[in-house]
A and B are shown apart, each in its own frame.
Chain A
């Protein structure tokens, strides 16, 4: 069911497989994401969508197949891998802000240590990013002093500070209280509008409808559907997707 997009794909997965022991968690995954495209990955829990997202910057290893980013095959170790990761922004479910660093330091650490940007420049850029996600006034605080929604927005700023080619979001709102979900989604919608290439694993169907160019539906480690949001939500083809959507709509 996967639509192979020819041409300038930024993220490209070809025949990717992964097992956790007996569990075949990624089954022959093929996926191409073009520059500027926003792809939302949805599916029931345990379907492998988080693993897929984490495999793209090799936080999860894969057994076979290839993953390439902007034409370069993801290396397995070392300096080349670190360099490639610097081009791939990642936002985690549990924020993972550096607990011993201030909000500002969280955002400047990557540019200063990985890219060798001067501290004054990094500070200035970081403040601009923090203002953009609406937490500029929190800069001198430690992560634990911020609400979940604020922490997640800082995490987005931290990833953006590396000027990534693509942003990965691994269930960015799943650990948030309901009233904080929108403040994070607003930032993500804004980012999508500005043309950032994004792969978003989420349960927020509203976001998928609003901001996605494509919806990828995963179940049991496979990509079952790959369609536009309109097509997917109004006219899902597989029984698996129909079943999933019907469960969402009943509540």
Chain B
């Protein structure tokens, strides 16, 4: 146990960086994912095509490849980052956005088609139908899968540890290397800090779900 207590400052620093990576990537992914879902149901064929291709590629390739691309290929193409965090955020948010797009799309499909027809029949345009009628109702069914995706994002952020970003898992690995006799304790400590992030997300999910439940 001593190793955990002695290393608390390091754990804490790693925890904060994981929190930062997850929060920033999460927000970007939510925005990007919603836009992709909107493109996927839009009347413009080019937008639908782009969204489909994006989602299929990012969803069906390993996260590590997204990281390689952001951290190594992009700089070679001339995109320079001051910090590797930026690359990590690009990789995490573009990857997660694909899953969010699919979740939002399934939510959109769960809203009865009559809602959109009624909205169109009073003269609303595509954007208004989506923003005022469909998305607010879709959100209610989408919250549980969205939280699942965000929990996965928190855990996926550990991949950043392998790409020069010292976050929680990165520090955990350093500590394990430095304390070869207490690897299990160190890893349990690491796991505990991840739980500190993910368990409240799960609780948030069930609270929000209860609050926004809607009668039909």
Binding site for B on A (CB under 8 A): 57, 59, 77-79, 82-83, 85-90, 92, 94, 96-100, 109-110, 113-115, 142, 144-145, 155, 158-159, 162
Contact = CB atoms under 8 A, between A and B. Distances in A.
Interface of B: 43, 112, 114-115, 117-125, 128, 132-133, 136-137, 140, 214-216
Please classify the interface of chain B as helix (H, G, I), strand (E, B), loop, or mixed, using the class held by over half of its residues. Answer: helix
A47 B43 CA distance: 29
A100 B124 contact: no
Given A144-B215, A144-B216, A114 B117 contact: no
A96 B215 CA distance: 13
Contacts of B115: 96, 98-99
Contacts of A162: 122-123
A92 B118 contact: yes
Contacts of B114: 92, 94, 96
Given A82-B125, A144-B216, A100 B136 contact: yes
B123 A82 contact: yes
B43 A77 contact: yes
Contacts, number: 75
B117 A86 contact: no
Contacts of A110: 122-124
B124 A57 contact: no
27 contacts: A57-B121, A59-B117, A77-B43, A78-B125, A82-B120, A82-B123, A85-B123, A86-B122, A89-B121, A90-B117, A96-B115, A96-B118, A98-B115, A99-B137, A99-B215, A99-B216, A100-B136, A100-B140, A100-B214, A109-B122, A110-B123, A113-B128, A142-B215, A144-B216, A158-B118, A159-B121, A162-B122
Contact of A96 (B117, B132, B136, B140): B117
Contact of B121 (A59, A99, A113): A59
Contacts of B120: 59, 82, 85
B127 to A, nearest CB: 10
A145 B215 CA distance: 8
Which 6 A/B pairs are nearest by Cβ-Cβ distance? A86-B123, A110-B122, A96-B118, A144-B215, A96-B114, A90-B121
B48 to A, nearest CB: 15
A98 B128 contact: no
A158 to B, nearest CB: 7
A98 B121 contact: no
A215 to B, nearest CB: 24
Contacts of B112: 94, 96
A103 B24 CA distance: 38
A96 B133 CA distance: 11
A200 to B, nearest CB: 15
Contacts of A59: 117, 120-121
A114 B123 contact: yes
B141 to A, nearest CB: 12
A97 B114 CA distance: 9
A158 B117 contact: no
A38 to B, nearest CB: 19
B41 to A, nearest CB: 15
Contacts of B132: 109, 113
Nearest to B139: A100
A158 B118 CA distance: 10
Contacts of A83: 123
Contacts of B43: 77
Contacts of B216: 99, 144
A90 B121 CA distance: 6
Nearest to A85: B123
